[in-house]
Structure 1
Amino acid sequence: MEALQKSLQSLSLGLPIPQVPLTEVLLNPLDLIRAYLAQILADIVNCEIENASKSIQWPNNIFNGDLAVILPRLRPGAKAEALALELMEKFPKDHPLFILPFLEGVHFRVFVRPEAVPRLFLQYILDREDSYGSASSSGRSSASNGQKKLVVEFSSPNITSEFQGKHLRSTIIGAFIGRLYESTGWDVTRINYLGDWGKPIALLRVGWSKYGSEEAYEADPVGHLLEVYHKIEEDFKPEQDASRQARDDVAKEGKDEGEAQVEIESRGIFAERNDAFKNLEDGEEDTAAFWKRVRDVNIDNYTKFYERLGVRFDDYSGESQVSPEVMVEVEQMLKDKNLSEESGGAWIIHMQNVGAKAGTAIIRDRSGSSTYLLRDLAAVLERSRKYSFDKMIYVVASDNSVHFTQLFKILEALDLEDLTGKLQHVRFSEVSKMAATLGKGYKPQAILDKCAEAISGLPEVDSDKVAVMGDLGQMVEPLATSALIVQELSSRSATVHNFDTSALASFKLGSGLDLQYWISKLYLLLKGATPTAELADEDYEALAEEDQTNLLRILAQYPEVINVTYHSLEPSGIVTYLASVTEQLSECFGENGEDEAVTPGMAALYEATRIVLENGMKLLGLTPVAHLPTSRVDTPVEG
């Protein structure tokens, strides 16, 4: 606050700073100018400063103003033109912070004076450094102030099949959400809820008895297990098709089940699979040993993949880890409230009885085995007791939307509305082109290998940009990971998952490689500079030039971007924002580019840009290659 007050005094701005509810003047520079603007508006229209503040929005584009006043909100019922005229007549003409606003539609667009921008925003960013854009600098994240707890479940692949495109999206989006909540002061627990139980693992057990080879397993454990699963899956397909047809035939008659379907599922691979799952749930020694072997080798393989991707988990949980006692507890709760009933040996819930439009949820199948839904209901109770979370987010593809609707509706029907209110399903399109790119039977490492292969083939035309970063041969893996993460996070959740490796080796605006290039360039420009030194008046005057001012105005938006993303959980906005930073940064070089001497003022501007760019990259999950020992930054400069 002391440093901020000093900056405000240099601009002849009145102190103390106007007090406006829900503004964070120490965390967000736009909140600071919002407070001063709200005071002006409140004085002109004679209203409470809080009401004036609610009429002020962030335009999201510096060419539409640093802030905008929505006139109908400022004075409901008033004509925009008349209110704008009144505001322009009474707005202080020589205000040290704002130039005279102008009307555009129902918006009253407000710009900060160019000469005030560097004096206000530059030191604000430099003072906060790594904490700029986060809530950690406020101290609200300390345990004594009641730090909130988030559990985020993401990735969650099935250990019997390939790591699919939807699992990759879940991994990268989920890891981002974890970092985002941590940056805003939450205590985050990351869970990988593996598909390590149920009928798929039982089917793999059946397949192992027919196709398993210890010799092939020793040579390539995960690869051989995938091969076995695909073989037994192919054998099983005719039986599944026959069962599905029998079920459809019965459904046409308006019945829930038929003898033909029961007969089909009582023999062949159906029966073998069901017996294997019953053995697994009963703890039969050989089946349990097989399950443990498969689970352990897959977790080991996934752990190595996640390390390469820069993702960590606090708990490798899974369906297998759900307590049978808690499942029984859930079943009893359902029976006590008459929500579940027996049907053909299975236990079901008619969803219209719990507030859903239609559908039937199965709790236990006719073989007596637990279902995914029952295990998930029990998992919610276990986690709420273990972690006492304030929020739990499931980062799972949209093809599971029906499951989560059933899960939430059943919990509400069990009078657990408070718990249900803490749950959120963050969904995204499950449609992915990754399998088409990688083929069948690939292991997760193949995803990053394919990306690294693309980066290794960077065209010669990009050699100058690569040279800024360092030795490409030593940076292929981090560059490939950066390119992949940015490609994943730049798409909105509703879009199809392209997994376009041909587009990874590109320095196009906002790409992973482009962000790495600019952060490396900034580190090189700052070598030997002292950007936090006291600036002279002539430095501030130079920074008031249009290109430099516009860059600072964009940098001032970063906390606002983070705030919007926190509520939307759409990381594409951050990618777009960082692209706007580098685009404007390129406008700040003179005709001779970076060959010109770096003045103290420009060093301070570059440092502020580095802070924002690096904070944003780390939030996305990128490690700047400028930190690697093979980068240009860590090697002597010739000449």
Structure 2
Amino acid sequence: MLLNLHKNALNLTFTAKCAAYAEVAAYVLGTAGSEHDRQTPPHKKACELRLGLQRNLHATQAQLIVPAGFRLAGVAPALENSGGERVTLAGKSTALRFISRLVAPALYAALPSVRRAAVDEALDLVRVASTDVTAYSATASAASAHSTIATNKLALLARLTAATPPPANRSAVTLADLAVWDLARSITPPSQLNNSSQPNDAKVDEANAWVAAFEANVPLLRDAAALVDRTLATAYVLDEFRFDIAKELVRVIASPNHNEDVIFPLIENKYPKDGGSGEFVVAVPRLKLPGISADVIAKNLESKFTPDARFTSIKADGVFLKFVYNPAYLRDRLIPRVLSQAETYGQNSSGYGKVSLVEFSSPNIAKPFHVGHLRSTIIGNFIENTLRANGWTTVTINYLGDWGKQYGLLAVGYNKYGHAAKLEADPIRHLFEVYVAINNDASEDASIHDDARNYFARMEEGDPVSLELWQKFVDLSIVKYREIYSRVNVGFDVYSGESKYSAKLMRGVVDRLKELDLLKLDQGAQIVDLNAYKLGGAIIEKSNGGMMYLSRDVAAAIARQKEYKFDNMVYVVGAQQDFHFKQLFKILELMGLPWAEKCQHVNFGMIKSKDGNMSTRKGTVVFLEDILDAVQESMLAVMKKNEAKFAQIVNPTAVADTIGITGIMIQDMGARRNKDYEFNWDRMLAFEGDTGPYLQYAHTRLCSIERKADFEVGPHVNVSVLTEPVAAALVDCIAMYPDVVREAGVQLEPCTIVSYAFRLSHAVSNCVEALYVMNQPQEIAAARLALYKAARITLGNALRALGIVPLERM
């Protein structure tokens, strides 16, 4: 269901400069209000239009991403993307035509040819009128180019609106009407209708009158515009600062080689060391401007800037040009947006239209889910959360170890030591006991291994009796796994396993490798020689004909690409398997599979124990469930020490469980994932210092402030009275969160979010100690409450990104 939803979702991204009013209106006119639309729940509609904002806020083209395998019943095959890759349509006319043909053919495809020709002419005129300012930069200043474009747009609008009256109703609308309406709104958005700085006020009034009449006749247009405006309101405030800087640098440099797209990536900002001193930095040498030296060029550029409401100072510092933004300007724009966006604050649409498979956890059936499995589970869950926050469609896979001779050994052991009642009550623990017992027996009686091989051979041959017992082991184990995963707030879209990739599929891999002349015999085994890549010989088939794990992974990767058409596939597996994945990815590459480069191994270090290594066969392993239970009990004991607070908690056992799990997860994810760490019980439970309980305390403290206030605050609250340095420091920190989400989406390092959460919590603590809400004048109390609510939203989002449930009381 998840993938079907993705395949039937059109992903439209746009910017303030190419606001997609016409594109969204075409979709709304084609679907909204129809009988089918009223009767069909959203998740079952023929297709869904998802709206997102491009990071390049000055881009002049909309992008419509059509996912791989896109299907829509009743649509001509030419409009379906049934190929192997997603399709990206760039440009307003292209996206508009596609959407109209897809869901509203009456807007274009159903028109007579003569009428279509007239519509085409209008669309072309609108496109030319929307030419980017960079087309003029070689012959005129940016300011004059903007003025020229605005004048051209208005002249065209006057011509088009004079020739065509607003359509009388929905059925009379064509693409040309939508394009003109879109152009008019881009020149005179509702927020600027009374702005006297608009050129040619008489023509602006005419355009506004035409738009008003059109929207009055076709009210659905207002719905479409509202969807676009809501998306535009999610613009990342610091990106707006960056683009303001880019625009000003284009103005002062006045070179055809330096447009906004070139300059924007050169603008960097680091976390400010002190509150209220946030700055952006441009390394002048990277601008590649002619001159004596970079520091002289920096001074020259500085002289051409004048501080304004956005930037308190613009100064040359050696070879750097520093822009210090106005904390009040940031505050007034940031807090309302955070309050409005709530749990979506920090998200972006950079991954729109793309599918990521994330394989993680992957325990072996009948073996304990121990603390060693924890790292893959929580890191994989974090990666999935982070990719979704960056706009990706994700599919999570738990690739269970459920096949091989060891399951023959387990079956032999169960027939000797198994108890049906124990298996039903706690399948993983009982099967583990059986596995340890039969391994002890096998160490003294080698014939047990022969029995196990024979049993597994019957499984591979499809013997129903042998498979029935194996399937029971698998099914009961998955039920227990789900219970454990729910405690750490983890879920999976797909439970798969090694058994899914049969000997026949692996034999197909071997045959294909032979066809490509990639296999060679080495001491009777079939290998892929990777010595040229310093990866040794990758064994595919043993000398006795048995298939190696590598052949199964190749078969699995090929099958997944065929099924999901993924844009990347992430394997979250310990660093001990680095070599294995290097061999796997190189084999896929040598097989000529273009998507091999989309496969990624995200590794991590080991959890060290003071008690030494844990062994499954010897039975010395500690079950994760036992650790979680012990942590829960310890947290309950701590919470009971404060009887007054404990009495206010509705479900203290669940709260203690969440705090304990938070402690475990933060200890695990606090450092870079490739590092080993020692499982430290005392630190994990501590409320002092940078620990999980401290983060939960910071969140519940903010919730408490909101509860105790006798009023609510919304996005329109006046926050201008927040002038204190500690408030500016907290605003700065809140503003950084979207950047942190982007960075985490690239680096896939949980510590990126963890470090940010602590930084934010420290800023909150400093602020709460100095700025009270209770017993303050209403204007001050409301502004401070808004700040704390924005901080609570942001901290909660950071915790959720880590897979942690934020608590409201503790």
TM-score clears 0.5: yes
Deviation at 1:608, TM superposition (A): 1.4
2:584, 2:319 → 1: CA distance?
A: 44
Counterpart of 1:43, as a letter, is R
Give the superposition deviation at 1:535: 4.1
Say whether 1:455 aligns with 2:608.
no
Secondary structure at the aligned position of 2:510 is classed as helix
Further displaced range: 489-498 or 397-406: 489-498
Q: CA separation in 1, counterparts of 2:699 and 2:299?
A: 45
Tell me which residue corresponds to 1:361.
538
The equivalences for 1:227-238 within 5 A come to: 227-234=433-440
Query: How far 1:342 sits from its partner (Å)?
Result: 4.6
Once the two structures are TM-superposed, the CA of residue 148 in structure 1 deviates from its matched residue by 1.3
Bigger mean CA offset, 335-344 vs 455-464: 455-464
Does the aligned pair in 1 maintain the 2:640–2:646 contact within 8 Å? no
Task: Show CA shifts across 1:405-446 (max 9, x none).
Answer: 111111112111x12022111111135339759982544422
Q: Please give the alpha-carbon distance, in whole angstroms, between the structure 2 residues aligned to 1:443 and 1:58.
A: 45
Q: Distance in 2 between the 1:491 and 1:558 partners?
A: 19
Work out which of the residue numbers 244, 247, 256 in structure 2 matches 1:39. 247
What's the CA shift string for 1:178-197, capped at 9, x where partnerless? Answer: 11111222211111000111
Q: Deviations over 1:141-168 (max 9, x none)?
A: 4xxxxx2111110000112433244421
Per-residue deviation at 1:273?
A: 4.0
Q: Which amino acid aligns with 2:711?
A: A
3-state secondary structure, aligned to 2:303: helix
The residue number in structure 2 matching 1:246 is: none
2:608 — aligned with what?
432
Is 1:118 paired with 2:365? no
2:664 corresponds to which letter in structure 1?
A: L
- Secondary structure at the counterpart of residue 533 of structure 2: coil
SS at match of 1:101: strand
Greater displacement, 498-507 / 75-84: 75-84
The answer for the alignment partner of 2:530 in structure 1 is 351
Which stretch of the first structure deviates more once superposed, 368-377 or 100-109?
100-109
CA deviations on 1:391-417 (whole Å, 9 max, x unpaired) are 11111111111211111111112111x
CA distance in 2, matches of 1:119, 1:215: 64
Structure 1 residue aligned with 2:321, among 105, 108, 115? Answer: 108
Q: Aligned partner of 2:725: which letter?
A: E
Q: Which amino acid aligns with 1:446?
A: D
Aligned residue for 2:280?
67
Q: What secondary structure is seen at the aligned counterpart in 1 of 2:714?
A: coil
Could you report, residue by residue, the CA deviation over 1:182-233 in whole angstroms, capped at 9, with x for unpaired residues? 1222211111000111233233234445544557546643223212322344
CA shift in 2, pair 1:46/1:592, >3 Å: closer
Consecutive unaligned residues in structure 2, runs of 5 or more: 1-15, 20-56, 58-187, 200-231
Matching residue within 656, 678, 688 for 1:508: 688
Q: Which residue of 2 aligns with 1:419?
A: 595
Q: CA deviation at 1:594?
A: 5.6
Distance of 2:418 and 2:524 partners within structure 1: 33
Q: Equivalents in 1 of 2:517, 2:474: separation in Å?
A: 37
Deviation at 1:552, TM superposition (A): 0.9
Higher-Rg structure is: 2
2:698 to 508, 512, 518: 518
Q: Report if aligned partners of 1:363, 1:374 keep a CA contact under 8 Å in 2.
A: yes
Distance in structure 2 (CA, Å) of the matches to 1:419 and 1:66? 40
Residue 572 of structure 1 is aligned with which of 751, 763, 771? Answer: 751
| Partners of 2:309 and 2:440 in 1: CA distance | 74
Alignment of 1:543 with 2:722, yes or no, is: yes
Deviations 1:100-128 (A, max 9, x none): 13455644332212332322222232232
AA at the equivalent of 2:356: L
- Cα–Cα, structure 1 residues 320 and 434, in superposed 2: closer, same or farther, change >3 Å? farther
Output one character per residue of 1:28-62: Cα deviation in whole Å (capped at 9) or x when no partner: 21110001112222333334233332321121335
The residue matched to 1:429 in structure 2 has which SS? coil
The answer to whether residue 772 in structure 2 is matched with residue 559 in structure 1 is: no
Alignment of 1:293-312 (within 5 A): 293-312=472-491
How many angstroms apart in 2 are the aligned matches of 1:405 and 1:432? Answer: 25
Preserved contact between residue 396 and residue 425 of structure 1 (Cα < 8 Å): yes
> By how many angstroms is 1:344 displaced?
5.5
2:357 and 2:309 mapped to 1: Cα distance? 46
Partner deviation per Cα, 1:534-585 (whole Å, 9 max, x = no partner): 445xx50x21221111211111111111111111000111111121112112
Partner of 1:277: 456
The answer to whether residue 801 in structure 2 is matched with residue 624 in structure 1 is no
Name the residue aligned to 1:489.
Answer: 669
Instruction: Give the match for residue 408 of structure 2.
Output: 202
What letter matches 1:127 in structure 2? S
Work out which of the residue numbers 373, 387, 390 in structure 1 matches 2:550: 373
From the superposition, tell whether residues 590 and 412 of structure 1 become closer, same or farther in structure 2 (CA, over 3 Å).
Answer: closer
Give the distance between the partners of 2:271 and 2:571, measured in 1 at CA.
Answer: 29
Query: How far did residue 624 of structure 1 move?
Result: 2.0
Per the normalisation by structure 2, the TM-score is 0.65
Contact 1:341 1:349 in 2 (8 A): yes
After superposition, the Cα gap between the structure-2 partners of 1:182 and 1:425, relative to the gap in structure 1 and judged at 3 Å, is same
Query: Where in structure 2 are the equivalents of 1:218-367 lying within 5 Å?
Result: 220-234=426-440, 268=447, 270-342=449-521, 346-352=525-531, 355-367=532-544
**Cα distance in 2 for residues equivalent to 1:231 and 1:316:** 28
Are the structure 2 counterparts of residues 607 and 172 from structure 1 closer, same or farther at C-alpha, using a change threshold of 3 Å? same
| Correspondence for 1:162 | 368
Amino acid in the other structure paired with 1:548 = A
Extract unaligned runs of 5+ from structure 1: 17-23, 142-146, 240-266, 633-639
| Closer, same or farther: CA 191–334 of 1 in aligned 2, 3 Å | same
Amino acid in structure 2 at the alignment position of 1:395? V
- Confirm or deny that 1:385 pairs with 2:385: no
| Aligned residue in 2 for 1:588 | 767
Within 2, Cα distance between the matches of 1:181 and 1:56? 24
The residue matched to 2:367 in structure 1 has which SS?
Answer: coil
CA contact (8 A) 1:351 1:357 kept: yes
Residues 266, 286 of structure 2: 8 Å contact kept: yes
Distance in structure 1 (CA, Å) of the matches to 2:462 and 2:716 = 71
With 35-44 and 303-312 compared, the bigger mean Cα shift is at 35-44
Show structure 1 runs of 4+ deviating over 6 A. Answer: 459-471
* Deviation (angstroms), 1:173: 0.8
Contact 1:490 1:571 (C-alpha < 8 Å) held by counterparts:
yes
Q: CA RMSD in A?
A: 3.4
1:306-329 Cα shifts (integer Å, max 9, x gaps): 111111111110101114432222
1:54 aligns with 2:265: yes
Q: Secondary structure at the match of 1:526?
A: helix
Residue 98 (structure 1) aligned with residue 98 (structure 2):
no
1:523 maps to a residue whose letter is C
Amino acid at match of 1:403: H
Percent of aligned pairs with the same amino acid: 31
Confirm whether residue 609 of structure 1 aligns to residue 788 of structure 2.
Answer: no
Summarize the Cα distance change of 1:415–1:201 in structure 2 as closer, same or farther, 3 Å threshold: same
Q: Which amino acid aligns with 1:604?
A: A
Q: Does 1:409 align with 2:586?
A: yes
Cα separation, 1, equivalents of 2:417 and 2:372: 28
Could you tell me how far apart the structure 2 residues matched to 1:402 and 1:178 are? 24
Distance 1:272-1:358 versus aligned 2 partners, 3 A rule: farther
Whole-angstrom CA distance in 2 between matches of 1:431 and 1:38 = 46
Which residue is 1:176 aligned to? 382
Q: TM-score, normalised by structure 1?
A: 0.81
2:545 partner amino acid? G
Aligned to 1:396: 573
CA drift of 1:15 comes to 10
Q: Over residues 318-348 of structure 1, what are the superposed CA-to-partner deviations in whole Å (9 max), with x where a residue is unaligned?
A: 1011144322221210111222245565433
